[in-house]
A and B are shown apart, each in its own frame.
Chain A
Amino acid sequence: MLEFRTAGFNPYSVKYSPFFDSRLAVSAGANFGLVGNGRLFILNLTAEGIVCEKFFETQDCLFDLTWSEQHENQLLTAGGDGSIKLFDIGVGEFPVAGWQEHGREVFSVHWNLVNKNTFLSSSWDGTVKIWAPERKESLVTLPVHSCVYSAEFSPHHPDIVTCVSRDSHLRVFDLRQKPSAQNHLTLAIPIHAPLKIPIPDNVTGGVQPSECLTHDWNKYRDSVLATAGVDGTIRTFDLRAPSGPVNVLPGHEYAVRRVSWSPHLSDTLLSASYDMSCRVWTDGSTQDNGGSGVGFGRELGRMDAHTEFAMGVDWCMFGAEGWCSTCAWDEKVLVWDVRDFMRR
């Protein structure tokens, strides 16, 4: 396991570069992001361990980041002051572009993985905004009316956007639709809805609404997503059956801050929680073995090296399956192999 200390800053998000297998970026804030400056770390994995190649300072916490899909040296940050900034590793100490439309903290940014020339942001101001890097103003504003903790483009389609929010709903927007009264909204799925097919001994089906903090698209199954939040439960959804979750993965003792599906295995996901653990899960789908895609999920293993709220996780796309990076409020970024922590 490799370790890097973000001394004086508490990380919120870590992301692997989509261009280099040795490059990572971490967004962080002083004083747990409550008050004070933010910092964006550019890290390199070297023979001597993790080395900070460069960092950028900002005036407020950086709650999230996303790498540009167009340019290997560029990345975007989500600012506590409502700003979105584009940094270029090769250019000075200031951002090369910035966008200021959100009225409150920006909590997530995500680059479009399919058409690569748009990105999105989500904010506490209750909106998701779609942007093009070369334009000053946003292209579209999607109203959600509730603090939006996480928004993503589908990795399978350039015009499908999803988000999760404080009001315990997973929303699906289709940007191809005319902006009618619906504002592109095609689905709003209650995350707390009971399971369609009850799981034996399942106690978490049909619970009270709770804030949803994170979600992620499955990289292989184009209608499957995972969500997680304050109730500590990870849920998977299949947009073909949008009335409620298809699977629940209880286990975390406190809020889950981030979930991420594996880029290698269609049934595997990783989570980071306020209970300080990072856990590996299977959603029980046996699709790789020709199964139906629905089954009983379970925890495969856990990593307990963090000593404060675990905030970010990301998988390395390159090389052998299983390498990942996690970050936590203990000012640590860890790079480790999930396979070392699987229960045998």
Chain B
Amino acid sequence: MASQTTGKNEHTQRRLEQVAHHMNASGRPGVIEKHPDDIVVTSALRTAITKGGRGGFKDTAAADLLVGAFKSLIERSGIDPKLVEDIAVGNVLAPGGGATEFRAAAIAAGFPSSTAVKALNRQCSSGLQACVDIANAIKCGTIEVGIGAGVESMSTQYGPQAVTEFSELLDNHKEAAECKVPMGALSEQMAKDRYISRKSQDEFAYNSYRKAGEAQKKGWFDEEIAPLKVKWTDPKTDEEKEITVAMDDGVREVTVESLGKIKPAFAKDGSIHAGNASQISDGASAVLFMKRSTAERLGQKILGKYVTASVVGVPPLLMGIGPWKAIPVALEKAGLSLEDIDIYEINEAFASQCLWCANELKIPHEKINPKGGAIAFGHPLGNTGSRQVSTLLYELKRTQKRVGVTSMCVGGGMGMAAVWVAE
């Protein structure tokens, strides 16, 4: 009976949605249309992303990165901190999800104690999940103004202590136990099974470096990066200095040949290596959300709008195919086709999986990660999802395009995608 009722509700919902679609302009024009109840982004920024263990933020705690991102967000948007009712922070590695120190970070950044904070963890999509949670809370009236954020200090918190040991029960369940297979190992197997050659991966990685290098030189990251002053210990002299970090320090000059020489990391005859997988990095990002009507009332400048999002599950061992499954679901919800999208920001966890997803979906390569991705400048796990928002919206604006998608694969076998419009 219960399942019958759910089935009926689903039918009703689908039919209702269909008729609702008939009332709006459908497809791209419908998505671009402006409505007072649109969930808009009035500010989106990130810190620079720096190399784990060696980069500019190697001695900075995750919470301190977050304080920096929050302060810059308040300053740039001019939002009255009192009006921010809730902040969601995506993070993967902090013990306890980081709930305590992120709450403290908000207070240290200048938010009053009346601003609530939560920490959440959906692995590599945590930052996006934080944005989606806040957007949904605004959409259904729980709050009026909120911040979706993400942060990760892999320098200080990456390691085996971030994952709880599996119980005997989980270890004895075949598919459940597969959730703890390391990302590298399972991606290596997937690359092998799906015939993603080392050469094609290296070419993809080279292009990520090339695009990021060009974007950096031409200053295309300048609008999204908020420079941050931090303490940094020089490893050579052990001297503590104060430095300003304003640039991603993982971006470097490579060639397909130089990448071709790097030893595989996960299997002797493997294809994945340090040069064609995402870097271990530190960084934070924050996105300010509210309804269009609220933004207009507060005089906030609108950067873009959030349209919809999807989350899907895939077999744990095929974690990398997440975007392939999640993107069409998000587009279906938005009433868009793959061709309607101007830019896809798909996280480059591994060149192999990102390339496979793009090829399967037949997305033209020039539409994917036009400013490079995690291979070139790093993937601070919980930060990536909210980082992609500023990367996408500023790039859409710069190139005078409109509709974009952010997406990533998620550890444990999931995928997320979201649709955004730049204004």
Q: How large is the interface on B (under 10, 10 to 19, 20 to 34, 35 or more residues)?
A: 10 to 19
At the interface, yes or no: A47 with Cβ under 8 Å from chain B? no
Nearest CB of chain A from residue B333's CB, rounded to whole Å: 14
- Chain B residues near A210 (CB, 8 Å)? 25-27
A34 touches B16 (CB 8 A): yes
Contact B22 A255 (CB under 8 A): yes
- Contact of A208 with B15 in the complex, beta carbons under 8 Å: no
Q: Do A231 and B12 have beta carbons less than 8 Å apart?
A: no
Min CB distance, B328 to chain A, in Å?
Answer: 13
B21 CB–A CB distance under 8 Å: yes
* B22 near A33: Cβ-Cβ < 8 Å: no
Out of A35, A209, A254, A274, name the residue touching B11 (CB < 8 Å).
Answer: A35
B21's partner among A33, A80, A230 (CB-CB below 8 A) is A230
Contact residues, B1-55 vs A (CB, 8 A):
8, 11-12, 15-16, 18-19, 21-29
Distance of B389 from chain A, by nearest CB (Å): 26
Tell me which residues across on chain B come within 8 A of A33, comparing CB atoms.
15
Contact (A230, B12) CB under 8 Å given A208-B27, A208-B29, A209-B27? no
Provide the residues of chain A in CB contact with B25, threshold 8 Å. Answer: 208, 210, 230-231
In the complex, which residues 231-274 of chain A have their Cβ closer than 8 Å to any Cβ of chain B?
231, 254-255, 274
A32 to B15 alpha-carbon distance, docked (Å): 10
- The verdict on A211 contacting chain B, using a C-beta distance below 8 Å, is yes
Number of A interface residues in the complex (CB < 8 A)? 17
Please, how many angstroms separate the alpha-carbon atoms of A211 and B336 in the complex? 11
Tell me, in angstroms, the Cα distance from A85 to B15 when the chains sit together.
21
| Given known A-B contacts A230-B22, A274-B22, A80 and B27 have beta carbons under 8 A apart | no
Establish whether residues A211 and B29, one from each chain, have CB atoms under 8 Å apart when the complex forms.
Answer: no
- Say yes or no: is A42 at the interface (Cβ < 8 Å to chain B): no
Residues of A within 8 A of B29 (CB): 208
Partner of B23, one of A34, A105, A147, A254: A254
Q: Does A213 contact B (CB under 8 A)?
A: yes
Report how far A3 CA is from B24 CA in the complex, Å.
31
B28: A residues at CB distance < 8 A: 208
Knowing A34-B16, A230-B21, the reply to whether A211 touches B26 (Cβ < 8 A) is: yes
Q: A208-B27, A208-B28 are in contact. Are A35 and B22 (CB under 8 A)?
A: no
Report the bound CA distance from A277 to B22 in whole Å: 16
Mark each residue of chain A from 198 to 214: 1 if its CB lies under 8 Å from any CB of chain B, else 0. Answer: 00000000001111010
Chain B residue numbers with a CB within 8 Å of A35 are 8, 11-12, 15
User: Which residues of chain A come closer than 8 Å to B24, judged between CB atoms?
Assistant: 230
* CA of A210 to CA of B11, assembled, Å: 23
Interface of A is mostly: loop
* Residue among B8, B15, B26 making CB contact with A105, cutoff 8 Å: B15
Q: Contacts A34-B16, A208-B27, A208-B28: A213 and B22 contacting too (C-beta < 8 A)?
A: yes
* A residues less than 8 Å from B11 (CB atoms): 35, 80
Nearest neighbor of A29 in chain B, beta-carbon distance: B15
Residues of B within 8 A of A32 (CB): 19
Chain B interface main SS type: helix
Question: What's the least CB distance linking A144 to chain B, in Å?
Answer: 15
Considering the chains assembled together, what is the distance between the CA atoms of A34 and B21 in angstroms?
14
Question: Please, how many angstroms separate the alpha-carbon atoms of A105 and B23 in the complex?
Answer: 20
Please give the distance in Å from B339's CB to the nearest CB on chain A: 10
Determine the chain A residues whose CB is within 8 A of the CB of B16 once the complex forms: 34
Instruction: Tell whether, in the assembled complex, residue A34 and residue B15 are in contact, meaning their CB atoms are under 8 Å apart.
Output: yes
Q: Which residue of chain A has the shortest Cβ distance to B24 in the bound complex?
A: A230
- Which residues of A lie under 8 Å from residue B18 when comparing CB positions? 147
The B-contacting residues of A in range 5-49, CB under 8 angstroms, are 32-35
The interface residues of chain A lying within 8 Å CB-to-CB of B15 are: 33-35, 80, 105
Minimum CB–CB distance for A297 against chain B, Å: 22
Q: In the complex, which of the residues B12, B22, B26 contacts A34, with contact meaning CB atoms closer than 8 Å?
A: B12
* CB-based contact B23/A211 at 8 Å: no
With a CB–CB cut-off of 8 A, which chain A residues contact B23?
254-255, 274
CA distance A281 to B162 in the complex (A): 69
Query: CA–CA, A80 to B18, complex, Å?
Result: 13
Query: What residues on B are CB-neighbors of A80 within 8 Å?
Result: 11, 15
Of all chain B residues, the one with the shortest Cβ separation from A63 is: B15
The residues of B that contact A208 with a CB separation of less than 8 Å are 25, 27-29
List chain B residues, Cβ under 8 A from A213. 22
Give chain B nearest CB distance to A167 CB in angstroms.
8
In the docked arrangement, what's the CA distance between A210 and B23, Å?
Answer: 11
A330 to chain B, nearest CB (A): 15
What chain B residues lie within 8 Å of A254 (beta carbons)?
22-23
**Chain B residue at minimum C-beta to C-beta distance from A211:** B26
C-alpha spacing A230/B29, complex, angstroms: 12
CA distance A33 to B16 in the complex (A): 9
Instruction: Give the distance in Å from the alpha carbon of A274 to the alpha carbon of B24 in the complex.
Output: 11
Residue of B nearest to A207 (CB): B29
Min distance, Cβ A31 to any Cβ of chain B, angstroms: 8
CB distance from B18 to the nearest CB of A (A): 8
B362 to chain A, nearest CB (A): 15
State how many angstroms separate the Cβ of A185 from the closest Cβ of chain B.
19
The docked-state distance in angstroms from the alpha carbon of A124 to that of B313 is 25
Q: List, in ascending order, chain B residues with CB within 8 A of A274's CB.
A: 22-23
**Closest Cβ neighbor of B28 among chain A residues:** A208
A80, B28: Cα distance in complex, Å = 29
The smallest C-beta distance from A18 to any residue of chain B, in angstroms, reads: 30
Report Cα–Cα, A230/B26, bound state, in Å.
7
Write the chain B residue with the least CB distance to A105. B15
Among B21, B23, B26, B28, the most chain A Cβ lie within 10 Å of the Cβ of: B26
The interface residues of chain A lying within 8 Å CB-to-CB of B12 are 34-35
B30 to chain A, nearest CB (A): 8
B-side contacts of A211, CB under 8 Å: 21-22, 26
Name the residue of chain A whose CB is nearest to the CB of B32. A208
Question: Which residues on A sit within 8 Å (CB–CB) of B19?
Answer: 32, 34
Tell me, in angstroms, the Cα distance from A211 to B18 when the chains sit together. 10
Residues of A within 8 A of B27 (CB): 208-210
A-B residue pairs in contact (CB < 8 Å), sample of 30:
A33-B15, A34-B12, A34-B15, A34-B16, A34-B19, A35-B8, A35-B11, A35-B12, A80-B11, A147-B18, A208-B25, A208-B27, A208-B28, A208-B29, A209-B27, A210-B25, A210-B27, A211-B21, A211-B22, A211-B26, A230-B22, A230-B25, A230-B26, A231-B25, A254-B22, A254-B23, A255-B22, A255-B23, A274-B22, A274-B23
* Residues in chain B within 8 A of chain A (CB atoms): 8, 11-12, 15-16, 18-19, 21-29
List the 10 shortest-distance A-B pairs measured between CB atoms, nearest first: A35-B12, A255-B22, A208-B29, A34-B12, A34-B15, A210-B26, A230-B22, A230-B26, A211-B26, A208-B27
Question: What 13 new A-B contacts, CB under 8 Å, besides A34-B12, A34-B15?
Answer: A32-B19, A34-B16, A35-B8, A35-B12, A208-B27, A208-B28, A210-B25, A210-B26, A210-B27, A230-B22, A230-B24, A230-B25, A230-B26
Interface positions of A (Cβ within 8 A of B):
32-35, 80, 105, 147, 208-211, 213, 230-231, 254-255, 274
